[in-house]
Amino acid sequence: MKIAFLVLAYGLGALPFGYFLFRWSEKKDIRKFGSGSTGATNVLRLKGWRYALPVVLLDVLKAALPVWLAFRLFDDPWLPLIASFLVVLGHCFPVFIRFRGGKGVSTAMGSYAVLAPLPCFLSLGVFVVVIAWTRYVSLGSLLAMFSFPVFVFLFGNGRELALLGAIMFALIAFQHRQNIGRLFRGEERKLGRREEVKVK
* Position 162 in a domain: yes
State the first-to-last Cα distance of the chain, in angstroms, to the nearest integer: 45
Segments of the chain with pLDDT less than 50: 199-200
* Position 132 in a domain: yes
* Position 194 in a domain: no
Q: What is the pLDDT of residue 197?
A: 56
* Position 30 in a domain: yes
Give the predicted TM-score (pTM) of the model.
0.91
Q: Report the domain count for the chain.
A: 1
Alpha-carbon span 58 to 109, nearest angstrom? 12
Q: What is the pLDDT of residue 189?
A: 87
* Position 197 in a domain: no
Q: What is the pLDDT of residue 194?
A: 59
Q: What is the pLDDT of residue 193?
A: 63
Provide the domain limits for residue 16.
2-185
